[in-house]
Amino acid sequence: EVQLVESGGGLVQAGGSLRLSCAASGFTFDDYAIGWFRQAPGKEREGISCISPSDSSTYYVDSVKGRFTISSDNAKNTVYLQMNSLKPEDTAVYYCARDFLFGGSSCPDVSGMDYWGKGTLVTVSS
């Protein structure tokens, strides 16, 4: 059974940092890209960062470039999202998800992801 479990969310002041983790199981980790997505209240879910564990290629949406860093620990089947210089507009539920395409990269397209975690809430206070 494919499972993705996020952790690391919480309440932080503007300018602070958090590190999110996405623990994956039930599939060969190296074969699929993993993405981080977020959904703020009243807004659509958006893809913010992706990584291909096989070659460590990465993607960032413009709004998080230079502030967020995605990485993977293939030995632990875990993807991380280091978030620095957080802003109130980063407040959202953060999800990790698996690209549906074996060896491909639909990420950051929401419709291109087939398994999702339950999410972790990040709240940035001003």
C-alpha pair distances (Å), 10 with each of 21, 34, 101, 122, 125: 12, 22, 31, 5, 11
Average pLDDT over residues 16-40: 96
| Average pLDDT across the chain, whole number | 95
Average pLDDT over residues 27-55: 93
Average pLDDT over residues 7-12: 98
Average pLDDT over residues 1-6: 98
Please give the structure tokens belonging to residue 44: 């659509």
pLDDT at 123: 98
Average pLDDT over residues 8-13: 98
**pLDDT tens-digit readout, 53-111:** 778 899 999 999 999 999 999 999 999 999 999 999 999 999 999 999 887 778 899 99
Instruction: Name the strand (E) or helix (H) holding 27.
Output: none
